[in-house]
Amino acid sequence: MRVVGTQAYGSRFVLNSGPYPAGITQDATSVRRELASLLPELRAYARFLVRDPSKSDDLVQDCVVRALGALAQFQHGTSLKAWLFTILRNAFYEQTRRRRREEELLAAHAQTAGHVLQQHHGEITDMSRMLWTLPPLLREALVLVGAQELTHEEAAAVCSVPVGTMRARVSRARSKLAEAFKEGQRPWET
């Protein structure tokens, strides 16, 4: 990279090397801008998945690092949001598998050492609690389409299922929630 000049701003230095850094095209720059604009939605979906603000931020960071590393694989003309949600979801499942294995090892160690693992759970609103009583596939479909405002097609792409399957999952999830609220059920209290 050829540095044209530097300007000091406090303790920061800004390198002026032309309109785009070496190897970055205008298309890649626009994708990066769009990626940055999607960060709040990625954070919201990550918070839904992991239910912990700190861990969700780590998950989003992992997603962004993976996306930037695979930017050449992004197909222009497709939904960047769906692509990023897919990366985020896959990273979540990978971390979940890894965490499950770690917990198994810790539990085995705790049994031999006589320690008990404790998990802390915060208070959750009624809607959130009801949402978590849904089967995982229905819950995921409802959050992607309802809360994250993905189209059925984009949500289907994120979950790698046909569009009809995604529509059916969303419909069943909505029906189950409506029925439970209508009947005044509170499954978490039983």
Per-residue pLDDT of the chain (190 residues; tens, 9 = 90+): 333 333 333 333 333 333 433 344 557 788 889 999 999 999 999 999 988 888 999 999 999 999 999 888 888 888 999 999 999 999 999 988 888 887 777 677 666 655 443 433 333 456 777 888 888 899 999 989 988 889 999 999 999 999 999 999 999 999 988 888 777 665 545 4
Residue 19 counted as domain residue: no
Q: 132 and 64 in one domain?
A: no
Assigned domain for 20 exists: no
Cβ contact 8:29 at 8 Å: no
Q: Which domain-ending residue is among 82, 99, 122?
A: 122
Q: Which residue has the tokens 């720059």?
A: 29
On whether both 106 and 141 belong to a single domain, the answer is no
Q: Which domain holds residue 154?
A: 125-190
Judgement on whether residues 93 and 40 belong to the same structural domain of the protein: yes
Contact 4, 17 (CB under 8 A): yes
pTM to 2 decimals?
0.51
